[in-house]
């Protein structure tokens, strides 16, 4: 049932990435193996710990990053703390509960070779925390803002710094948060200009977009 | 078909208010007449210009305020510019398109005898405008924040000033604004504490709540 | 990944509160530790029993309240029965299944130093039960009405007593209850004046709002 | 394009009723003519004034009732004021804006030969008005409760009188009223027992159900 | 936290029923005990097997019916096969997967003393099965139609027999079934007259309505 | 701004069709002209009367069919009554208000050269009307069922005749009909096998599918 | 509670199929037994492994296919690899995560005796993979396109090959995928002609439709 | 009620843009006048023809572009045909009905000084049209894809060219198109990497983002 898009790297500059969710462990090993055999690096996303550890056991040259739900092999990815605090692209996470998605962005960015930093837990309820990170934010060429709940942070960041912003709504919240729909709608309706949005919890998509824009 | 709640003022401190939408001009004249006969002032909300002018013609002691969609009689209401810029309650409107709802708040507040000011067009896309109004905002006991589109302003106001905030989402916007649902969801999911919300475009409801809280 | 808003208490009068959902046990211990070190009390919300007990073990001076899903330390909170039956703010719970949210309100109110009572299981299907609590309801300055299913209780309470009402829709119900959306919509569309609403199951938000209003 | 269900009266006890919306004036005249030719009375629902008056002109033995949007011929229907205040079935309308739907119920009930009364403008914001109508409400065998906005009245009526209730949500309201969805959800989630619901604004459906139940 | 509505039976003819979902085992024992002490029978709905068996152990004079999710005591309820095939009210279940809800109707009907029969697995995909049950269907005074998936059966039953129909949408289905919303919408929009609807999976509500109508 | 897909006929067997909605009258004349110049027939769908008549005036060799909202030229299409009552494909319309969509199917079918008949106003509220058309229904190879409101007719037709059914939900209805969503959901969740569905009011899509299947 | 539609095969050409979801293991054994006793083959859909294995143990002449969630007996079904790569109907699966639904189509097609092939993992992100399968795709009379996430593949396939397409949206995806709703909407709104759609994940429905069309 | 964000240009590189919808003609003249007085150019979006012409009359140095709904003054904008066919950013419009939104992108891009071209009517139903524009598409650094209905074009463009894509869903469509929601969901769930999305019909937002990215 597998037909890898091995031609994607020459065509688009980024190799095929494996969507981990809904695949059996065997399919995952086959997919990663196929990429490695073709001389390509491999990135698997949205991988729970059971299948992540299975993959790490069967492809020992790779690493499974549990918080980010990523498996990487063939590229220098390192998600252990401390995380880089500055870069051409800055990931800005609203709350500490958004960290898994923020690390998905960071890990994928590293996989794509993008120079990327992280500022975490700087949401709108206490804006002074954001301002304290002002220097590295002002130096970056692109902001990737990760936020759940009301998702207001991209509006504020775009209004303050005027850089292009990729918004990543997260499913953090409850009730009318609707699994991230509230945050998504906020970002789509932002009246500050210069914001474009990816799917809820789609850290990978934001990193791929950023790498194409800055690459 | 009319049965006025003439006992509401003694029971709850605020007299019955007529919901103008969906009533015939004749029903409106009867309702206002009934309140006046009972010695009560009258407020009609959500009134388009055709029926508003009809009412003003048949109840000449009252005034129709077209931008706010209100008709008032028996209480000192004045919505002509300049509007009061300070008060115990401060209405904060995000964009100039939110003005009709902001004036519905202001007009109803005047009707209920609430000391109320207005700061308009101070949305998150240019926060410095909000900060310029800092003095009157800091002096108020309550903030009523009126915002459409992404509805992020209540989060920011609550985070900066820490006063209790009544959020009024408006139907200003388009596409995924969903007629105000996006703004409503933002406000309900705000992570800054001290925000409670009324229906979309419900300026009257916010004023009634504020008058009860501060009265 | 943590950046506590230690400046929130001076700025807004209420210290930062930790959103327990979606955080690892280690993050929770760090967050509570950070607040205590800064000489601030700590409140954690939406905490399931596994992580609540972990926290209670690692921060033994605090208490975990399982029904309310709260962890508290540094403030006199006591959620053991009997609960206070009167106060400046009255929590009114429609059904016995709404008790967890009602206790989240009560516990947070105690944490914020608000004088708060509770009337439980007094829903609209048998209104006489509400009327039996009339004296303490009439004395309170604010009503916090907690209701799932059709969420009609705030309308009725506002119509009878005329006090300002904070509505807290709960996710109690099934089918078209839509996880609390039905109750939320009821409250937002209440035709009785003087009702403002917080997120579904957001007992903390209602208590924070009440404390700001009455504090 | 017309194929009337002339066999419906013998099969089910009620003759076919013409759904007026979306039909051309010519189709309407043909449909009513077909029923009259077959010796059956005719009822057309959801008829705006342009087509209603066209029909009245071409079928002069019938009457068009503009507020209710009904055309009737061959049965004694009279919707001029005063409306009957008591009956085996009682229509209870929450607000004066719900009158068009309440009159659709009343007119259809008359068409089906059901003994039916009306109590209007007795919503939950001022419950004493409902209690003043207690005698005729207690005598009825069935309550048909018509309400828009938050739609809480059926819960309250069912809780007080314990009669079976047919709830008719109306599209009266705005914003999160969602064209009657909020009222519908309230009624479906009522915790008072003995409530069943018809479509939004479906006065005809409620009358047909009542006539079958009591006929 | 419990305040039983012991006055409900005299007021409305049906005693209070305990909503089992979201209550702790201890609350359930207290609630049932309170009803029994007041000399009233007890019915608990929406009870999973863990709490159902706990209740049966602590209130040994009662019975837990696992498929229907009911606990009953003080009234002659018997849900063991064969079920009654005829009665004043007929429960008609579309598919075999709808049986749990159909048995909730039947069990509650028995509790309320209603004469009730059941016809199961007679959905629209093979209408001849329905016609085979024609005699008992024609004799009944009321049809309670239980259906998931597309929920078309009430339309067909109402069109064929012309009796009043209470529709009970179920959550049986997947994908665009939306947990019963598709079936609910079908029933609300039925063009056959004489259908009113209760909440998704609300067998109890249908039985309570039927008992009031026929009692 | 126009780039006609003139290669579509050789590639897929059906020439490009112009989507009339949202185009200016000038764009429409250009598009039809471009197809005619290329020696292809032209079909325009979803055309209101203003633009339909403009087009008929500027392209006099074509015809505008107002009820169906179609403009056709270069193929023998005739939508004047009486319509063909039998054919390889049978269009079955539930109610007389569904006729515009049924005629869109019929007109497009004629344009594509499909042998197609029509049975109208044979909905589930009076099934005997459907059975009267049994012969032509049984002879057809495919049924195209057009229905609004509860959309139950495809289930019943598929259950009775077992032919493949293309369901066309229509926007006929009100309230919870949700502009055709209720009918769509019914059709998608049908438990009778052999039903596939097109967009709401998409008569053209059903005809194109049928022509490909039977062509 | 079971009433099998044993007359379905003569009436419609396909025997009754058991909907496995929501049935107890005992009901399943009874249903399959009933079909076999009547001399009919049996197909059970949407069967998880616990109940699938129970059924395989109690009906040993049948086979349970875990990936497809099917149980089959009495017809030659074989879902072991390699799968047929060509046929009158071609199943086209967008991603490897869509395989379970694609195999539900294939297994049901085999059960219905339809000549059916499979092309897997050929989504729009790398269209050249689809073009490599061009020969078998061009030979087929019907395409069944199985896709989750954005569900764009049916549009592309219909645009390229012009065959009739049955679209099967799957629940593969996350966030705004909404459990398959996004893919469903894509397919319903496809501007390429010749696409009709079944329920999300409804492989059985697509196979039944295809068998009727080509049978 | 106006408070222009005159500081936006120095802070973010783009001057304030006036949201035309929901403003009175007088407010619009004041807003444009205020910007011109401050020496800034002015752009007004979402302007219907009545207010657009009013503005053009009162600010004669500016131009109103009716198809795009824009008013521009102080920057060289020219939307008369022929439009530029190549540029650093390429706008790709799926259908001719999407032209108004595509021209909103183009006009705003010209206002922001972005080198921008347009390829129109090249949707997925006839992909060869897209391929004919391959050269200018391959030379661009960024693709802005404007599409309504199923919104599949961004997936295909991203898969073929691998450039970063800004998706602009449009409200073109009907029924389940849901005013652009279907297209939006497609774009958010695209499995081709490198796509970020703005609000439905938000041509302005896409141009602002592109100008920031390429400026
Ligand atoms: N207001 C209404 N709401 C719901 N159904 C109706 C209404 N008026 C008529 N109907 C039913 O709709 C069916 C279809 O109507 P028609 O389109 O006239 O063939 C009729 O047979 C009536 O039973
Ligand atoms: N299955 C059910 N569905 C809807 N309402 C119910 C159900 N079971 C009990 N109820 C009602 O819910 C009310 C509130 O229940 P409680 O939470 O027990 O106070 C009771 O008084 C019953 O009338
Ligand atoms: N996977 C499926 N999706 C939709 N319908 C199904 C499925 N499997 C079986 N069915 C149909 O559902 C009907 C009702 O099923 P049952 O609940 O078994 O009586 C059967 O007669 C089948 O036609
Ligand atoms: N078409 C548009 N869509 C989204 N935002 C816009 C649009 N046009 C202007 N804006 C933004 O909306 C903000 C608020 O507008 P205003 O109501 O004019 O104060 C402006 O500062 C712009 O950044
Ligand atoms: Mg934080
Ligand atoms: Mg502004
Ligand atoms: Mg109770
Ligand atoms: Mg009233
Ligand atoms: Mg069955
Ligand atoms: Mg008809
Ligand atoms: Mg793949
Ligand atoms: Mg085109």
Question: Do the two chains F and B touch, given a threshold of 8 Å on CB pairs and at least 3 pairs?
Answer: no
In which residue ranges of chain E is pLDDT below 70?
A: none
Q: Are H188 and G181 an interchain contact pair (Cβ–Cβ within 8 Å)?
A: no
Ligand 4 pocket (Cβ < 6 Å) reads A 191, 193; B 95-97, 121, 123, 125; H 5, 16-19, 45-46, 202, 204-205
Distance from the B115 Cα atom to the nearest Cα atom in chain D, whole angstroms: 26
Q: Which of H1, H11, H18, H201 most suits a substitution to test ligand 4, by most atoms within 8 Å of the C-beta?
A: H18
Instruction: Evaluate whether E195 touches D205 at the Cβ level (below 8 Å).
Output: yes
Q: How high is the pLDDT of residue H126?
A: 87
The tens digit of pLDDT for each residue in D111-169 reads 999 999 999 999 988 889 999 999 999 999 999 999 999 999 999 999 999 999 999 99
User: How far from chain centre, in Å, is Cα E84?
Assistant: 14
Chain F residues closer than 8 Å to G179 by CB: none
Residue-wise pLDDT for G114-171, tens only, equals 999 999 999 998 889 999 999 999 999 999 999 999 999 999 999 999 999 999 999 9
Range A157-166 burial, b when 16+ CB lie within 10 A, else e: bbbbbbbbbb
Nearest to B121 by CA among H22, H108, H69, A130: H22
pLDDT at F215 over 90: no
Task: Spell F79-90 as b/e; 16+ CB within 10 A means b.
Answer: beeebbebbbbb
Residue nearest atom 12 of ligand 4, based on CA coordinates: A191
Take atom 11 of ligand 3 and give the residue whose Cα is closest: F191
Whose CA is closest to A63, among A45, A41, A78?
A78
Quick one: pLDDT at residue D126? 87
Answer positive or negative: Cα dihedral of A197, A199, A204, A205.
Answer: negative
Report d(CA B209, CA C195) in Å as an integer.
6
Distance H126 CA to ligand 12 centre (A): 9
User: Does the distance separating the beta carbons of D1 and F120 come in below 8 Å?
Assistant: yes
Predicted confidence pLDDT, tens digits, chain G (215 residues): 899 999 999 888 899 999 999 999 999 999 999 999 999 999 999 999 999 999 999 999 999 999 999 999 999 999 999 999 999 999 999 999 999 999 999 999 999 999 999 999 999 988 899 999 999 999 999 999 999 999 999 999 999 999 999 999 999 999 999 999 999 999 999 989 999 999 999 999 999 999 999 98
Looking up tokens 């930790």 gives C18
Nearest residue on chain C to D124, alpha-carbon basis: C156
Encode chain F in three state secondary structure. Answer: CCCCCCCHHHHHCCCCCEECCCCCHHHHHHHHHHHHHCCCCEEEECCCHHHHHHHHHHCCCCEEECCCCEEEECCCCCCCCCCCCCCCEEEEECCHHHHHHHHHHHHHHHHCCCCEEEEECCCHHHCHHHHHCHHHHHHCCEEEEEECCCCCHHHHHHHHHCCCEEEEECCCCCHHHHHHHHHHHHHHCCCCCCEEECCCCCHHHHHHHHHHHHC
Q: What is the pLDDT of residues F170-200, one digit of tens each?
A: 999 999 999 999 999 999 999 999 999 999 9
Under DSSP, the state recorded for D132 is H
Looking from the CA of residue H44, the nearest atom of ligand 4 is 8
Mutate to test the interface with H, among G145, G177, G182 (most CBs of H within 10 A): G182
Residue in E13, E203, E190, E214 with CA at minimum distance from that of residue E118: E203
**Average pLDDT, integer, range A52-60:** 98
Atom of ligand 3 nearest to the CA of G8: 21
Give percent above pLDDT 90 in chain D: 93
pLDDT of residue B1: 83
Mean pLDDT of chain H: 96
Written as six digits, the tokens of D201 are 């604004």
> What percent of chain F stands above pLDDT 70?
100
- pLDDT per residue as tens digits for the range F11-54: 888 999 999 999 999 999 999 999 999 999 999 999 999 999 99
Rounded Cα–Cα distance for residues D37 and G169 (Å) = 50
Q: Taking CB atoms and an 8 Å limit, are H125 and F5 in contact across chains?
A: yes
ipTM: 0.96
* Tokens, residue E176: 């665009």
- Give the pLDDT band of residue F82 (cuts 50, 70, 90): very high
For chain C, which ranges sit under pLDDT 70?
A: none
Q: What crossing angle do the helices spanning C203-214 and C99-111 adopt, rounded to 10°?
A: 40
Confidence of residue A11 (pLDDT cuts 50, 70, 90): confident
Which backbone phi and psi does B150 adopt, to 5 degrees?
A: -85, -10
On the CB side of B35, how many CA atoms lie within 13 Å of its CA?
Answer: 25
On the 0-12 / 13-18 / 19+ scale of CB atoms within 10 A, E115 is: middle
Please, which pLDDT band fits residue A145 given cuts at 50, 70 and 90? very high
Best of A101, A175, A178 to substitute, by most chain C Cβ atoms within 10 angstroms, is: A175
The answer to whether D126 contacts B16, with C-beta atoms less than 8 Å apart, is yes
Mean local confidence (pLDDT), F112-132: 94
What pLDDT does residue B11 have? Answer: 87
- pLDDT (0 to 100) of residue C215: 86
What is the pLDDT at residue A1? 83
- How far is it, in rounded angstroms, from Cα H188 to Cα H178? 16
Alpha helices in chain H (DSSP H): 8-12, 25-37, 49-58, 99-111, 128-132, 134-139, 153-161, 181-188, 203-214
Task: Note whether D182 and D176 are within 8 A (CB).
Answer: yes
Question: Which of G161, G198, G204 has its CB closest to that of F196?
Answer: G198
- Dump pLDDT digits (tens) for C123-181: 988 889 999 999 999 999 999 999 999 999 999 999 999 999 999 999 999 999 999 99
**Chains H and A touch, contact meaning at least 3 pairs of CB atoms under 8 angstroms apart:** yes
pLDDT given at position F67: 96
pLDDT of residue B3: 92
Give mean pLDDT, residues H134-150.
97
Q: What is the pLDDT of residue D199?
A: 98
Range with lowest mean pLDDT among A45-49, D7-11, F105-109, G143-147: D7-11
* Confidence tier at F154 by pLDDT (50, 70, 90): very high
**DSSP 3-state of E21:** coil
* 3-state DSSP assignment of residue B80: coil
Per-residue confidence at H99, pLDDT binned at 50, 70, 90?
very high
Give ∠ CA F77-F78-F83 in degrees, rounded to 5: 125
pLDDT reported for residue E105: 98
Q: Which residues have a Cβ under 8 Å from the Cβ of C147 and sit 6 or more positions away?
A: C93, C94, C95, C98, C123, C153, C154, C167, C168, C169, C170, C183, C187
pLDDT at E13 (0 to 100) = 87
Q: What is the mean pLDDT of residues B157-186?
A: 97
CB-neighbour burial class of residue G84 (10 A; exposed 0-12, middle 13-18, buried 19+): middle
For the segment H173-186, what is each residue's pLDDT rounded down to a tens digit? 999 999 999 999 99
> How would residue D27 be classed by pLDDT, with cut points 50, 70 and 90?
very high
Asked if pLDDT for residue D185 goes beyond 90, the answer is yes
Closest listed residue to residue F159, CA positions, set E94, E124, E131, E158: E124
The Cα–Cα gap between B42 and H173 comes to 45
Q: How far apart are CA B10 and CA F151, in angstroms?
A: 52
Three-state secondary-structure class, residue G44: strand
Q: What pLDDT is attached to residue F187? A: 98
Closest CA to F99 of F118, F112, F85, F77: F118
pTM over 0.90: yes
């Amino acid at each position: 049932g597998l037909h890898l898009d091995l031609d994607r790297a020459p065509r688009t500059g980024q190799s095929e990435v494996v969507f981990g969710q809904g695949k059996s462990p065997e399919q995952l090993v086959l997919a990663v193996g196929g990429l490695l055999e073709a001389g390509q690096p491999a990135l698997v996303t949205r991988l729970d710990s059971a299948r992540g550890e299975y993959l790490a056991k069967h492809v020992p040259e790779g690493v499974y990053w549990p918080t980010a739900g990523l498996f990487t092999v063939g590229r220098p990815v390192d998600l252990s703390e401390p995380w880089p605090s500055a870069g051409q692209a800055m990931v800005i996470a609203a709350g500490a509960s958004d960290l898994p998605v923020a690390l998905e962005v960071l890990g994928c960015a590293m996989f794509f070779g993008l120079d990327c930093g992280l500022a975490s837990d700087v949401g709108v309820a206490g804006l002074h925390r954001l301002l304290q990170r002002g220097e590295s934010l002002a130096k970056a060429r692109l902001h990737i803002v990760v936020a759940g709940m009301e998702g207001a942070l991209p509006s504020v960041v775009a209004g303050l710094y005027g850089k292009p912003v990729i918004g990543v709504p997260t499913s953090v919240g409850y009730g009318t948060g609707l699994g991230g729909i509230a945050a998504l709608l906020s970002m789509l309706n932002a009246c500050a200009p210069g914001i474009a949005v990816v799917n809820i919890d789609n850290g990978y998509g934001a990193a791929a977009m950023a790498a194409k824009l800055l690459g």
